[in-house]
Amino acid sequence: MSEKNHNVSRRQFLTYTLMGVGGFMGSAMIMPMVRFAVDPILRAEAASDMYELTEVENLTDEPQSFPLSFEQDDGWVTQQVEETVWAYLDGEDVVALSPVCTHLGCTVSFGGDESNPDQFFCPCHFGRFEQDGTNVPGTPPTEPLHRYEHEVRDGIVYVGRPQSQQ
């Protein structure tokens, strides 16, 4: 076999280079589509996760805000999520509410309005919610605050993701 047979011709070099670049660009275009297709599966896994919120003995019959911190996987990205949960005891039952106003997404606080100290108040458009999250008629929100799915194990409250009450 002569040395000449081992040499790559200019045509072959260009063909291999173009195939490599084309393959790279093609995979760069396909990966977002694959991720889009697989994302619902990833979300279903994430939705089943429960995160430790606080001990039940820290809850009272009046809503208090508790920080919630957890890692969330989204595709190849893992990010730290920081949220606030309003939680209280309704008899023996734990109620955990999202602070996100169902009007346009501002943050509500319990007792934030001096004239309605037993309600959640949204300062953006003066939205109000009853303690159980029910929207007060005549104020902008048309949907109750979302509730966190939750469970109690060994005296610890674990919460999942907030769900619509409708």
- Find the Cα–Cα–Cα–Cα dihedral 127, 131, 72, 24, rounded to 10°: -30
Beta carbon of residue 107, minimum distance to ligand FES (angstroms, whole number)? 8
11 vs 17: CA distance, rounded Å: 10
Cα dihedral 111, 66, 90, 99, rounded to 10, equals 60
Q: What is the dihedral of CA 89, 95, 101, 107, to 10 degrees?
A: 50
Give, in order, the Cα–Cα distances in Å from 53 to each of 3, 45, 148, 156. Answer: 72, 19, 11, 7
User: Which lies closer to ligand FES via its Cβ, residue 13 or residue 126?
Assistant: 126
For residue 102, the minimal CB distance to ligand FES (Å) is 8
Residues forming contacts to ligand FES in the complex (CB under 6 A) are 101, 103-106, 122, 124-125, 127, 140-141
- The CB-of-79 to ligand FES minimum distance in angstroms stands at 25
Between 14 and 124, CB nearer to ligand FES: 124
Q: How many CB atoms lie within 10 A of CB 149?
A: 14
Which residue in the shown chain puts its C-beta closest to ligand FES? 127
The nearer residue to ligand FES, 54 or 135, going by C-beta atoms, is 135
Complex with ligand FES: residue 128 or 150, whichever CB lies closer = 128
State the nearest-atom distance from the C-beta of 150 to ligand FES, in Å.
24
